[in-house]
């Protein structure tokens, strides 16, 4: 994450902040505040504090990650070299605004679902902003969600394209179980009732219902229960689920609902930096 922030700064600064360096004396010190322009969930403030402190800016006061914020709340109070504060401003705000947006969306969805079914985990996906995956995942966790996989080496996740290459759900599971360490879980996507049964019987740890629709998902869960297979696996819903229909799915016997929209479609929260 430090390397990514360094790159973002280098990209933004170029050969120097010619505006601040032209207008502001080199030794001019000033106070500044990062202020919320709307309500949401705060995420990423510890990262931003470290960024300012690394460049010699004093953090006078700060709210905490996970805090609810309202319009006008002072998230961070800073004091130090005015040129430095202004040079860091855009990078700090861009990261903080995005992380707050992801955390706010996660918190909103998870809160709705838990009112209906407290046991369900709301999870993100790998549909994150390139290079910002760790920031997005941290924001999901702060917002009360499950991060799901951080990277490809977290677990075996057999998707439709893997199955297309290998030939079948049954064959893909057999190969995975023969070759992977006991320490790694195996998840597999299924699109039909038949494949869900094969996956549960074949030893998958997690069966993901991918774009199956509400009625077929309901029927598949009932069939797994009838065959005494439901308790063998975790069930994850993904694909067809969105914020508009998620409460319908939450009424079913499901363990995890994952939504790529938490990261690929969340709106950044409106924050600003004011020089006092």
Residues 88, 91: Cα–Cα separation, whole Å: 6
Long-range contacts of 131-135 (CB under 8 A, 24+ apart): 131/4, 131/7, 132/4, 132/95, 132/98, 134/1, 134/4, 135/1, 135/4, 135/44, 135/47, 135/95, 135/98, 135/99
Give the pLDDT band of residue 240 (cuts 50, 70, 90).
confident
Residue 201 has pLDDT above 90, yes or no: yes
Question: 49, 127, 170, 185: which one is catalytic?
Answer: 127
- Taking residue 152's Cβ as centre, other Cβ atoms within 10 Å add up to 9
Beta pairing partners, 210: 238
Percent of the chain scoring above 90 in pLDDT: 95
pTM higher than 0.85: yes
Q: What is the DSSP string of 186-225?
A: EEEEE-SHHHHHHHHHTT-SEEEEES--HHHHHHHHHHHH
119 belongs to the catalytic site = no
DSSP one-letter code for 133? H
At a CB cut-off of 8 Å and minimum separation 6, what does 251 contact? Answer: 116, 117
- Average pLDDT over all residues of the chain: 95
The position carrying tokens 């994850």 is: 236
What is the model's pLDDT at position 73? 98
> Sign of torsion, CA 159 161 166 171?
positive
């Amino acid at each position: 994450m430090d390397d990514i922030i360094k790159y973002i700064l280098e990209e933004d600064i170029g050969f120097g902040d010619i505006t601040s360096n032209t207008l502001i004396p080199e030794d001019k010190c000033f106070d500044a505040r990062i202020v919320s322009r709307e309500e949401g969930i705060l995420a990423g403030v510890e990262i931003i504090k470290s960024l300012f402190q690394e460049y010699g800016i004093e953090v006078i006061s700060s709210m905490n990650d996970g805090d609810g914020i309202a319009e006008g709340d002072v998230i961070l109070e800073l004091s130090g070299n005015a040129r430095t504060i202004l040079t860091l401003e855009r990078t700090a705000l861009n990261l903080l605004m995005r992380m707050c947006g992801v955390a706010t969306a996660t918190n909103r969805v998870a809160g709705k679902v838990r009112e209906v079914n407290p046991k369900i985990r709301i999870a993100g996906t790998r549909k994150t902003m390139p290079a910002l995956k760790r920031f997005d995942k941290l924001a999901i966790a702060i917002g009360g969600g499950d991060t799901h996989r951080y990277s490809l080496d977290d677990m075996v996740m057999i998707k439709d394209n893997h199955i297309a290459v290998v030939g079948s759900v049954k064959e893909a599971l057999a190969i995975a179980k023969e070759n992977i360490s006991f320490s790694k879980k195996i998840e597999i996507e299924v699109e039909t009732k038949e494949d869900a049964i094969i996956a549960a019987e074949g030893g998958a740890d997690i069966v993901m219902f991918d774009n199956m629709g509400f009625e077929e998902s309901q029927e598949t869960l009932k069939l797994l229960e009838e065959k005494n297979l439901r308790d063998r696996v975790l069930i994850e819903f993904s694909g067809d689920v969105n914020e508009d229909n998620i409460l319908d799915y939450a009424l079913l016997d499901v363990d995890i609902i994952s939504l790529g929209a938490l990261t690929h479609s969340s709106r950044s929260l409106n924050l600003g930096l004011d020089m006092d």
